[in-house]
Structure 1
Amino acid sequence: MTDGPAGRSLVSKMVRFGAVGVANSLIDLCIFSVLLWFGTAPLFANLLGWFGAVCFSYFANSRWSFERAGNLRQGRSFLRFFTLGAIITLGVSSGAIVALGGLIGILPAKITGLVVAAVISFLAARWSIEDRVL
């Protein structure tokens, strides 16, 4: 499965996106955990962890996982990525913290939210960087 004559295969993009996703999750969880340890409110710690991870994610995915569409300027690409990241990953992880935090604990709830959001995020990242849906 390839996207075009000069492009990486879809499988390669998925593997690369997954590797970046693991690094993102570690960045997000580290920032989140450290902030919790210092007594930061869970949802604010989630916001700051997400922000650090989404900045790294865009940088890594736009240079290594995907090929940015020539007709899509960097600023617009980042805005798409950031906006979708806010809706998907920040929304899902915050929702998981609120819905599950009291039942399973804050950190397990955060991890659950990250896993759920990862699946949707691949398509969103591909659209925001490559201007493709599938």
Structure 2
Amino acid sequence: MTAEGPAGRSLVSKLVRFAIVGFANTGIDLAAFSLFLWLGMAPLMANVLAWAVAVVFSFAANSFWSFERDRTLGLISSFLRFVSLGALISLGVSNLSLIALTSTLGVWPAKIIGVVAAAILNFVAARWSIESRIGR
């Protein structure tokens, strides 16, 4: 078993690229979340809207730069897989973190904990939804 991808990009390269996109995506998510909170939205609604903004960027960057997209899926199918698994993981984990931790830690620490936990789960989900592979 090799760590090379279908076009020769190594798993390490994919991980590094995924991390770079993730940092940028986290910035977009936090900026949008902050804006929506500033506009007076409840934290859960702000989180859902910030997620929607960030997921579009994340899919575009990951499918065109981090991974080698499986062209047999088609762009829309790949996006739907990305949203239905990977992105919903991040939204679910982030919302659970806000619900469970906001009252004890505050909104921002709860949001950050949710972002970190979701990032770990999203690498596998993104690889499956974009490349149609998990362990190879």
Shorter-normalised TM-score: what interval? over 0.9
Matches within 5 A, 1:25-104: 25-104=26-105
- What root-mean-square deviation, in Å, do the aligned CA atoms of Structure 1 and Structure 2 show? 1.0
> How far has the Cα of 1:38 moved from its partner?
1.7
The whole-number CA distance in structure 1 between the counterparts of 2:32 and 2:92 is: 17
Kindly report structure 1 stretches of 4+ aligned residues shifted beyond 3 Å: none
1:71 CA drift (Å): 1.6
State the Cα deviation string for residues 94-129 of structure 1 (Å, max 9, x = none).
Answer: 000000001111111011000001011000000000
CA contact (8 A) 2:29 2:51 kept: yes
Q: Which moved more, 1:92-101 or 1:33-42?
A: 33-42
Corresponding residue of 1:131: 132
CA contact (8 A) 2:5 2:68 kept: no
2:5 is equivalent to residue 3 of structure 1: yes
Give structure 2 stretches of 5+ with no counterpart.
none
The alignment covers a number of residue pairs equal to 133
Percent of pairs identical after alignment?
57
Task: State the Cα distance separating 1:70 from its structure 2 match.
Answer: 2.6
Match of 1:120 in 2: 121
TM-superposed deviation, 1:39? 1.1
TM-score by length of 1: 0.95
Where does the alignment leave 5 or more consecutive residues of structure 1 unmatched?
A: none
